[in-house]
Every structure is written in C-alpha cells, then in structure tokens.
Amino acid sequence: MMEAVAALLGAASLAAGVAVTFTTRGMRIRQKQETDIPPGWMPVLPEEELKRHLDTGALLASICVETGLAASNFERDYGQTISRFMTFAQLLPASESHHHAQPGGLLLHALETANIALRLRHAQVLPPGVAPEDIQRREHRWSFGVFLAALLHDVGKPLTDLHVVIAKPRGEVPWSPLAGNMAESGAIRYRVMFEASCASPASLSGGRDYAAHQRMGVFLMQRLVPQSTLAWLSEDAELLTQLTAFLSGEDKASALARIVIEADRESVRRNLLEGPRTRFANARAVPLVERLMEALRRMLAEGGRLPLNRPGAAGFVANGCLWFVSKRLADEVRDYLAAHESAAGIPGTEKNDRLFDVWQEYGALAPNPDTGGGIWRARVRMEGFDQVLTLLCFPLAKLYPDPEHYPTDFVGQVIPLTGDAEAAGEPPQQGVGNVSVEVPADGGGAKDRTGPVREGGDTISTSVLPSRLPSMSTPDPEAAPLPMQEEEFLESEEDATHFLPRPPAARRIAPMRLPDKPDQPAKGKDAKSARNAPQAPSEAALRFMAWLQQGLAGGTVAYNETGAMVHFAAEGMLLVSPRIFRHFAERFGEKGDGTPSALAADKVGTGIQREVIKAGWHELGPRKTNVHKYQVVRRSGQAGSSLSVMIIRAPQRFIEPVPPVNPHLVKANHESSPDTLS
C-alpha cells in the first residue's frame, strides 16, 4: 500500500519538479536541497522502479497472457525486450500536449499498444495466403513480430519530437538515443524540453512532419531486441520484411502494419477520452483541440461569423446537435485564431482533415457511423433552401456550458445520406424529428471510426475453426459497440430529442458450433433441385460466421439495438444486408483472409455474400429471393424505416443461447426482389 502511495506521490513530484530520492527501503519524497535533483529534472530509474512508479504490473501480466507462453519462454524474448525498452523510454512523454503527454506516457502507450495488438493478432491469419501447416509453424514468430512492431512504433519520438538533455557527473549534454539508453550514456538525471518542436519553422507554418518518428524504429530495434531474438526472427524472411518496412515508415498496408495501426489508434482513443490531462510543466503547446474549441465557443457567443438556421448559414441546429458546414467552419476557426491569437500550430487550409480528426479524437463531434469518420453528407431542407452539404455534427453539450444557452432548432430537416442514397440522388427513409442520427448519451464520443480511429475490437477468425480465439463466453467490458448505421430505430419524436440508445441485451454466447454438413434438400426433389442444393460451407463462409459469432460474444457486434447489423426474430437471426457483408469485406476481404477486395466500390461485399448464400444457412423467400423485408415499429407504435435482411435459420446451430426476439421488428407483408448488393 505504501509503495502505491509513494508511486502516486512520485508522479506528482516529478511533474512538479520536486526531488525524488530512491533508497534500498523504497521511495520517499522530500523538498529540493542543494544535493538533490533540481526542479525540472528527473532521475534515471532502473527497470523495477519504473514498473512500480507507473504501476505496469497488470499491463505486463496481460501481455504475457495474450502471448500464451510459459513464463520462462516469455522472458527469453518478450521479457528482455520489454526490459530494454523500459530503461530506454524512462519517463518520457509520448507527446507534448496530445495523447499520453504525462511523465511515462511513451512507455505506457507502447505497452498498451502492444497488448491491444496481441489481442487483435489472435483473430488474424498470419502470415496470410499460406498453407495451414505453415501458419501453425510460424505462429510464434509472427506474434512476436506484431508485438515488436507495436512496442517500437513510437520509439523514435525522443529522436524527432523531443529534446532530451542528460546530466553526467562532468556536465550536461544532449542525449543521443542511437548511442544507447541514458544509463549506458552515463546519465544520472535528465530533463525534457519541447522548444525544438514548438519553434521550428515547420511547426509554425503548420507543416511539421508528424510521421518523422515512424522512420526511426528500425534503427533502434537493433539496440532494444536481443541478438538471439533478432536471429530467430530473421529466419522468416516475409516477417522480417514486413517488420522492417513498418518500422522504417515505408509500409502501412501489410497485415502486420494494419494490426499495429489499429492498436495504436485504440490506445490513443482511450487516453484522449479517459486518460489524465497531466503534462510536463515546461510544455509550451496548448492542446490544439483546446484552442479550436475555445475559439468556436467564443465565435458562437459573439455571433456574426457563424450564422445559424437560415439559408446559406454556417450551421443548423437540430435535435441536440449543431451541424456545421465542414470547410466553412474550419476556415472561420482558422481565421479567427489568426486574428485573435496566432496561426502557429494550426494546420493550413490544405489540411482541414487534420482539424476534423482532432475534434473527433477528443469526442467533440459525433462520428458518422456509415464511414467512421467525422464527415457527414446530408441534405438540409428548409423554406427556400434544399442542398446536399458536407457537415460536422457537434452535440450542443460540447459547445455550450448551460442548456439554457442552447440555440433553438431550425425549421427544417437535416437528413444524413448513405452512399447508396446519395448516388441515387435520394435521401434514405427517415425516422422522425428533424434528423436521423443518434448522439450517444455522453455527447458523442469518438469510440468507433475508421479514421482517425477504427473499431478497436473488430476482429476476424484466423482459420476455419480457430484454435486460439479469445474466450467468447464473457463479453469484453472495454469493447466498444458498433456505431449506429443508416437503418435505425428512432422512437417517438419526444423520445428522439437526445437519441438515447436502448441498453444492449446481456451477451453470454457459447462458442460456435458450425454444422458438419450443409442442410440436405427434402426427399422427392428432382435432379435440378439436387444440383442447386446448398454446398458445403466454404472457408470464406466459415470465417464470416466465426467473425460474427465472436463479435456477438465479445460485444463488438451489436444486436437487437439501434443501428445494429444483427437482429433476432422468430424466423431466425437477421443479417442486415448488404451492410454487414460490406462491413466484413472492407475489413477482411471477400474471402476473409485479409486480401483487400478487388471489386468495384459499389460491389464490395458481394463476394462474401455469395459464399454465405452458397452455404445454404439462410431462409429463401418467395420467388427464390435471399433477402427479406422487416418493418421497424417505434415505441409509439408507428411504423418506421424498413430493413433488408438475410434470415439465418436455426441460429442455435451457431450460438447458444439464442438472444431474445427484437420486439421492434415485424416481417413485412411484401417480399423483396431478387437481392443484389447495392
């Protein structure tokens, strides 16, 4: 208990510049004396002190569990690498004022990313496109490769983003990370400065190279990984190629890179939304999001620059949200800051997407569930005005401190468009009220997105019947649900004011039981019917079903709730089509093996849809259609939008227990035309 208290006191003291003395009996805090560490400096700590100081015990234990290795085997490769990384990273921050900016942020972010990446790795076919026996033989090397890429993805930041000075017994010198860690360089203490990143011409012009550190990992890997481990890794040429390409900043598309990028984004997302706001005392930069939000609030209070609720306005208020025209907002905020403060550090006009990302990363705006990004395409209708605009959706609670100051809703409609509706020149079927969008109860956090942050828990089975899937009987409490999509359940107009989602049903689903054989046709069928009988499920179909079952069990695939892609009815398990197949194919390819879909954009998902159809698990409708129509029934009893679904018969073949029936869905009287993915 005393150690935990001391660790917490130590963190506060280091940030404040109070001297910290380590003794053989533990750590004690005392005010600076002449012989102590000066304010602004930090001691070079050994590994065990770093572990205690940052309380990494649970995180390291989780990494060990994710590897599936015995303690001795874990220590040989993983343990030694972590130990070297810890003594290298010390208490350096991961950024000046963005994510993990607190003392020790770089180390914590690296370990968090490695832990998440290993969890994601379990559900990936690595290496892709090889025989099953090769996958098993190379499994541990590729797991370590994922871990190493995640651990070292930001290790170059001390070289490119920070200016670290070390104090030796005979003076102070800049630290050169390529020459070794601080202890190996003879340092007894160090201090972190940010002047170089704040005052460089590149940063002042908004042109800072944010990716420079990504090219340094390959150099530092030689120092931080034991030679015996590097020799072991080098026996797999494909792995070494992907690893070095990623750590040198040359590759972001390989299977290994995609896992690490997703894990990195999830670690950043968690820290920005839930982590501490502690920063180093000498950090000069004000977080960009704070400057943007403060400018936006002042502009709204002053009026004039951002007119609302009229034809040609900068924004429109509807059902608890303020929808801003995206480019106009970015330009106005940038001009306002330049006129009233400074343009330093503000991305230029060609980098508006960076501003949108910042707002989304901090949960300031509601992400578009159809794309995962911050941009919405929506039709804005009012008297004398009807246009399709590119918008950003800010919950009013993020912009105004008091609900009494909220502006009134405009007299009109904001109708978000899906890609299909926009291509057809028509808006989607509407719910009720002015806008068809769900704003979470917390004001619209950036929990699930493909840019800048993707769905952290969305994973796919690594084989036909994977042997190393995570436990699927207990939901992951940290897994974020999938965002709402275009088919949604809006309640009565009064209930839809804040669009509160219904609580999801409890998810306790047993491991999947795939049928050994496809359903057989009834006796008496003619030869033609026999030829058209369901085929044995392909590996692609089994991968899809394994991903679906795992997602339902872990909570990453929502069901029976607003915007879910899966629902349950008396007829079976309903898969919202074509969305669920497109969702799968965009992430894992038409075969589920990680190969990107080669189909045209409007055809993505048709390949995996065909494989599932050929498996014969679904219910055919009249005229041999594969897709059925269901009607949404609002809580008021009024009819809402309709869903196109594929019905999977007897879902107990795949999941147990089968969730309850969704009471807000009824089967429509009419059947769909022969289905196509559109």
Lowest mean pLDDT among 120-134, 411-425, 597-611, 621-635: 411-425
Of the two residues 190 and 555, the one the predictor is more confident about is 190
* Residue 145 counted as domain residue: yes
What pLDDT score does 564 carry? 85
Q: For 618, which DSSP code? A: B
Q: What is the mean pLDDT of the chain?
A: 74
Classify residue 140 as exposed, middle or buried by CB count within 10 Å of its CB (0-12, 13-18, 19+): middle
Q: Assess contact for 150 and 117: CB atoms under 8 A.
A: yes
- pLDDT exceeds cutoff 80 at 79: yes
Q: Are residues 318 and 415 in the same domain?
A: yes
pLDDT level of residue 58 (50, 70, 90 thresholds): very high
Of the two residues 346 and 15, the one the predictor is more confident about is 346
Q: Are residues 29 and 48 in the same domain?
A: no
Kindly report the length of the chain: 678
Residue 585 backbone class (left: φ over 0; alpha: ψ -120 to 50; beta: rest): alpha
How remote is the C-alpha of 379 from its chain's centroid? 28
- pLDDT exceeds cutoff 60 at 196: no
505, 484, 508: which is closest to 632 by C-alpha? 484
How far apart (Å, rounded) are the C-alpha atoms in residues 655 and 548?
A: 10
User: Residue 276: what residue type?
Assistant: P
pLDDT level of residue 465 (50, 70, 90 thresholds): very low
Q: Are residues 304 and 420 in the same domain?
A: yes
Q: Assess contact for 636 and 542: CB atoms under 8 A.
A: no
How far apart (Å, rounded) are the C-alpha atoms in residues 177 and 156?
A: 9
What pLDDT score does 22 carry? 36
Q: Are residues 262 and 341 in the same domain?
A: no
DSSP lists the bridge partners of residue 395 as 321
How far apart (Å, rounded) are the C-alpha atoms in residues 339 and 302?
A: 15
Antiparallel, parallel or unpaired: β 385-395 and 321-325: antiparallel
pLDDT level of residue 370 (50, 70, 90 thresholds): confident
* Residue 483 counted as domain residue: no
Chain segment 209-241, per-residue pLDDT in tens: 555 556 677 888 988 999 999 999 999 999 999
What pLDDT score does 437 carry? 45
Chain segment 525-538, per-residue pLDDT in tens: 455 444 455 567 88
Of the two residues 502 and 59, the one the predictor is more confident about is 59
Of the two residues 18 and 657, the one the predictor is more confident about is 657
Q: Are residues 79 and 9 in the same domain?
A: no
- pLDDT exceeds cutoff 90 at 146: yes
How far apart (Å, rounded) are the C-alpha atoms in residues 672 and 606?
A: 17
243, 25, 35: which is closest to 150 by C-alpha? 243
Q: Assess contact for 157 and 6: CB atoms under 8 A.
A: no
DSSP string, 322-374: EEEEHHHHHHHHHHHHHHHS--TT---GGGHHHHHHHHHHTT-S---TTTSSS
* Residue 477 counted as domain residue: no
User: Which of residues 247, 274, 301 is at a domain's end?
Assistant: 274
Q: Assess contact for 482 and 556: CB atoms under 8 A.
A: yes
Q: Are residues 210 and 317 in the same domain?
A: no
User: Residue 615: what residue type?
Assistant: A
Q: Are residues 8 and 95 in the same domain?
A: no
Q: Are residues 181 and 103 in the same domain?
A: yes
User: Which of residues 382, 400, 424 is at a domain's end?
Assistant: 424
Which H or E run contains 613?
Answer: helix 606-615
Instruction: Characterize 624-643 residue by residue with b for buried, 16 or more Cβ atoms within 10 angstroms of its Cβ, and e for exposed.
Output: ebbbbbbebbbeeeeebbbb
User: Residue 636: what residue type?
Assistant: S
Q: Are residues 314 and 255 in the same domain?
A: no
* Residue 676 counted as domain residue: no
45, 335, 315, 383: which is closest to 190 by C-alpha? 45
The pTM of the full predicted model, rounded to 2 decimals, is: 0.49
pLDDT level of residue 193 (50, 70, 90 thresholds): confident
25, 101, 155, 529: which is closest to 284 by C-alpha? 101
What pLDDT score does 456 carry? 33
* Residue 453 counted as domain residue: no
* Residue 460 counted as domain residue: no
User: Residue 670: what residue type?
Assistant: H
207, 219, 211: which is closest to 249 by C-alpha? 211
The count of structural domains within the chain is 4
Which H or E run contains 121?
Answer: helix 105-121
Q: Are residues 258 and 358 in the same domain?
A: no
Q: Assess contact for 222 and 81: CB atoms under 8 A.
A: no
Of the two residues 429 and 160, the one the predictor is more confident about is 160
> Hey, is 583 helix, strand or coil?
helix
Q: Are residues 72 and 20 in the same domain?
A: no
- Give the position of tokens 């033609």: 528
What pLDDT score does 48 carry? 94
Q: Assess contact for 336 and 305: CB atoms under 8 A.
A: yes
- pLDDT exceeds cutoff 60 at 257: yes
Chain segment 617-671, per-residue pLDDT in tens: 999 877 788 889 998 887 777 777 788 899 999 988 888 788 888 888 888 865 4
- Give the position of tokens 């952290």: 456
What pLDDT score does 669 carry? 62
CATH of residue 120: 1.10.3210.40
Which H or E run contains 83?
Answer: helix 80-89
Q: Assess contact for 663 and 616: CB atoms under 8 A.
A: no
How far apart (Å, rounded) are the C-alpha atoms in residues 656 and 508?
A: 8
- Give the position of tokens 């189909």: 599
Q: Please state the rounded mean pLDDT for residues 496-523.
A: 37
Residue 33 backbone class (left: φ over 0; alpha: ψ -120 to 50; beta: rest): beta
pLDDT level of residue 141 (50, 70, 90 thresholds): very high
How far apart (Å, rounded) are the C-alpha atoms in residues 71 and 547?
A: 30
Of the two residues 218 and 108, the one the predictor is more confident about is 108
Of the two residues 484 and 659, the one the predictor is more confident about is 659
How far apart (Å, rounded) are the C-alpha atoms in residues 56 and 594?
A: 33
Chain segment 586-601, per-residue pLDDT in tens: 888 898 888 888 888 7
* Residue 627 counted as domain residue: yes
pLDDT level of residue 42 (50, 70, 90 thresholds): very high
What pLDDT score does 63 carry? 95
Q: Please state the rounded mean pLDDT for residues 323-343.
A: 90
Of the two residues 178 and 453, the one the predictor is more confident about is 178
Residue 81 backbone class (left: φ over 0; alpha: ψ -120 to 50; beta: rest): alpha
Phi, psi of 363 (to 5 degrees): 75, 20
- Torsion on CA atoms 291, 296, 301, 305, rounded to nearest 10: 120
User: Which of residues 274, 300, 334 is at a domain's end?
Assistant: 274
Can you state the angle between helices 227-234 and 139-151, rounded to 10 degrees?
Answer: 120
- Compute and round to an integer the Cα radius of gyration of the chain: 27
- Torsion on CA atoms 370, 466, 263, 261, rounded to nearest 10: -80
What pLDDT score does 57 carry? 92
Of the two residues 174 and 347, the one the predictor is more confident about is 174
Q: Are residues 137 and 19 in the same domain?
A: no
281, 261, 280, 344: which is closest to 94 by C-alpha? 280
- pLDDT exceeds cutoff 60 at 299: yes
* Residue 462 counted as domain residue: no
538: tokens are 């392909």
Antiparallel, parallel or unpaired: β 163-168 and 412-416: unpaired
What pLDDT score does 656 carry? 76
What pLDDT score does 658 carry? 85
Of the two residues 474 and 553, the one the predictor is more confident about is 553
Range of the domain at 558: 495-667
- pLDDT exceeds cutoff 90 at 420: no
What pLDDT score does 12 carry? 38
Q: Assess contact for 142 and 260: CB atoms under 8 A.
A: no
What pLDDT score does 163 carry? 87
Lowest mean pLDDT among 371-375, 426-430, 467-471: 467-471
What pLDDT score does 315 carry? 95
Of the two residues 676 and 96, the one the predictor is more confident about is 96
